[in-house]
């Protein structure tokens, strides 16, 4: 079936192959933002489109009637085994595991299987910067996006950051640039995807409930540069042993960034400034105290952004200006308010222990911490080991609460309380915080046991603390 699928109507779009989707039968798996966008693009290309989800119609809300009105078929609340063999193409949303039986059945039947990133890539005319890693992706991608916006007339920020690539791929141009935040889930399903610049920021254990082993997780991340060649660039963290070793496995030109300055053939920092010694530059970029983002990890994010931007031709004066103006992204060590001389920070994007380690280290005052949520198979002990002399109180929530309590008991940390609700956890931190302290939401866990998303969790936190002291 795949031979028939791609043998006709083959043309080139932006250097990539358009396999000819007109009148083809396409199945999109996953009624989420990226899946919906892919379905709509397929419809625009003339395909007969069905979108599938395990959720029933009553669980999906208004989007069902919208898709029906657009002529998109729905197959809901049932296993797609019965329909997948009749399809020409299967487009996978990142939240759908690739090892499900219907996916294997599709491959055996000759159905072309691809992810949403690969699909949109076929139509992208702009060079792409692909950013992955365990932590820092959103901040780095957002920062790079701001730099691109300041220089290119036509630039887009897409991917795991919440902006579907399929929404803008047809609008891209050769003189523009796209930056994509790429999760391991999205990278699992690429085939020809080839960014001009790739970046792997760091690697720590995450999503092991999906990937099962750290080795599988690393392999998924490394796919970001698997199609690159000597004309491309790969930005890597020199201080992360895993990412440093990736230099041996990429054909692209390697650009290192180094927080402690151990590698000065790249972008590096000391305690005061960021410098560049590569890509035609040898100069100071900015002083660290000019940045409006907290913590050493954000210095790393800034250095990675410099490498990505320089590699696509953005001049240093533009990069420098944006670095000085950029503020923290929403939900990532985001300052919210100060109440009774206690500062409140929203780090709901801290969905794994390493991310929360960075948040704890970034705080300059004693911390009352909200911790816990959905269990992704993480080990919390290294994170908890940092608490003495930094964290004065912990409000523990969520499905993983017993694991966190065990880790607290392992270090004889007594000042904690398990909260039945999120609001109670906030109240406990407010009660325990004293003059000059901070309250930090950095759960080290995903949100899915109590919330729809980390964004919802962060918004509830912000709304609640902004109304402290007001009559409820």
CATH of 2-114, one of 3.40.50.920, 3.40.50.720, 3.40.309.10, 3.20.20.390: 3.40.50.720
d(CA 183, CA 208) in angstroms, rounded, equals 13
Which residues 6+ apart lie within 8 Å of 433 measured at CB?
A: 342, 368, 393, 439
Domain 334-466 annotated CATH 2.60.40.10: no
d(CA 15, CA 352) in angstroms, rounded, equals 38
Q: What is the CB neighbour count within 10 angstroms for residue 421? A: 10
Q: How far is CA 114 from CA 106, 136, 166, 188, 190, in A?
A: 11, 26, 13, 9, 7
d(CA 339, CA 469) in angstroms, rounded, equals 8
What pLDDT does 314 receive?
98
Q: Which two tokens stand for residue 239?
A: 């201080």
What pLDDT does 395 receive?
98
CATH 3.90.190.20 range(s) for the chain read 334-466
The pLDDT confidence band at residue 124, using thresholds 50, 70 and 90, is very high
What pLDDT does 210 receive?
55
The three-class DSSP label of residue 70 is coil
CATH 3.40.1190.10 range(s) for the chain read 124-325
Strand partners, 273: 287
Query: CA geometry: angle at 223 spanning 355 and 247, to 5°?
Result: 80
- Are 98 and 76 within 8 A, CB to CB? no
- Are 39 and 28 within 8 A, CB to CB? yes
pLDDT in tens, 205-223: 665 565 568 888 899 999 9
Strand partners, 374: 446
pLDDT in tens, 180-208: 999 988 998 899 999 999 999 999 866 55
pLDDT for residue 471 is more than 60: no
Task: Give the mean model confidence (pLDDT) for residues 466-472.
Answer: 80
Of 446, 375, 395, the C-alpha closest to 183 is 446
Q: What is the CB neighbour count within 10 angstroms for residue 7? A: 10
Higher per-residue pLDDT: 135 or 408: 408
d(CA 249, CA 442) in angstroms, rounded, equals 34
pLDDT for residue 329 is more than 80: no
Q: How far is CA 164 from CA 119, 178, 231, in A?
A: 11, 12, 27
Q: Which two tokens stand for residue 259?
A: 């927080």
CATH 3.40.50.720 range(s) for the chain read 2-114
The pLDDT confidence band at residue 364, using thresholds 50, 70 and 90, is confident
The three-class DSSP label of residue 369 is strand
CA dihedral 431, 434, 436, 440 (to 10 degrees): -30
Q: Which two tokens stand for residue 138?
A: 């959103």
What pLDDT does 380 receive?
96
d(CA 238, CA 99) in angstroms, rounded, equals 33
Q: DSSP string of 26-65? A: EEEE--SHHHHHHHHHHHHTT-EEEEEESS-HHHHTTHHH
- For 55-59, 243-247, 268-272, 311-315, which range has the lowest pLDDT when averaged over its residues? 55-59
Chain length of the chain: 472
d(CA 18, CA 3) in angstroms, rounded, equals 14
pLDDT for residue 6 is more than 50: no
d(CA 147, CA 131) in angstroms, rounded, equals 15
d(CA 332, CA 465) in angstroms, rounded, equals 16
CATH of domain 124-325: 3.40.1190.10
Strand partners, 367: 391, 438
d(CA 168, CA 159) in angstroms, rounded, equals 11
What pLDDT does 472 receive?
54
Encode 294-329: b = buried (16+ Cβ within 10 Å), e = exposed.
Answer: bbbbbbbbbbbbbbbbbbbebebeebbebbeebebb
The three-class DSSP label of residue 269 is strand
């Amino acid at each position: 079936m795949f031979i028939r699928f791609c043998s006709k109507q083959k043309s080139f779009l932006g250097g990539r192959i358009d396999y000819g989707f007109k009148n083809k039968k396409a199945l999109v798996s996953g009624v989420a933002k990226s899946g919906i966008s892919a379905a709509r693009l397929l419809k625009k290309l003339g395909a007969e489109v069905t979108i599938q989800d395990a959720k029933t119609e009553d669980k999906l809300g208004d989007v069902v009637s919208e898709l029906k009105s657009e002529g998109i078929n729905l197959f809901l609340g049932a296993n797609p085994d019965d329909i997948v063999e009749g399809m020409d193409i299967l487009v996978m949303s990142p939240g759908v595991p690739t090892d499900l039986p219907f996916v294997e059945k599709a491959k055996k039947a000759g159905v072309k299987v691809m992810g949403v990133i690969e699909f949109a890539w076929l139509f992208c005319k702009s060079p792409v910067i692909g950013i992955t890693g365990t932590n820092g992706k959103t901040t780095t991608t957002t920062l790079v996006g701001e730099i691109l916006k300041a220089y290119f007339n036509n630039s887009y920020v897409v991917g795991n950051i919440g902006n579907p690539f399929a929404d803008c791929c047809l609008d891209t141009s050769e003189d523009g640039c796209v930056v994509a935040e790429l999760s391991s889930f999205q990278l699992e399903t690429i085939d020809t995807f080839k960014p001009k610049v790739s970046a792997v920021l760091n690697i720590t254990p995450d999503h092991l409930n999906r990937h099962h082993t750290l080795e599988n997780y690393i392999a998924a991340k490394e796919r970001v540069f698997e199609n690159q060649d000597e004309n491309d660039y790969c930005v890597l963290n020199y201080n992360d042993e895993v990412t440093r070793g990736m230099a041996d496995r990429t054909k692209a030109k390697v650009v290192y960034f180094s927080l402690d300055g151990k590698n000065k053939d790249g972008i590096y920092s000391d305690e005061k400034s960021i410098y560049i010694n590569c890509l035609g530059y040898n100069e100071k970029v900015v002083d660290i105290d000019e940045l409006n983002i907290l913590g050493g990890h954000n210095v790393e994010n800034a250095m990675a952004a410099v490498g990505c931007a320089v590699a696509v031709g953005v001049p240093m004066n533009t990069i420098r200006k944006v670095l000085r103006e950029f503020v923290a992204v929403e939900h990532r060590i985001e300052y919210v308010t100060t109440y009774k001389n206690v500062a409140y920070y929203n780090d709901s994007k801290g969905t794994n222990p390493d991310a929360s380690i960075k948040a704890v280290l970034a705080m300059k005052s004693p911390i009352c911490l909200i911790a816990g949520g959905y269990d992704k198979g993480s080990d919390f002990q290294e994170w908890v080991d940092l608490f003495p002399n930094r964290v004065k109180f912990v409000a523990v929530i969520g499905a993983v609460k017993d694991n966190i309590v065990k880790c607290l008991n392992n270090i004889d940390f007594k000042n904690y309380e398990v909260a039945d609700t999120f609001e109670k956890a906030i109240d406990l931190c407010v009660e325990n915080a004293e003059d000059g302290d901070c309250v930090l939401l950095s759960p080290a866990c995903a949100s899915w046991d109590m919330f729809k998303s980390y964004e919802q969790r962060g918004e509830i936190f912000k709304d609640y603390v902004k109304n402290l002291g007001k009559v409820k």
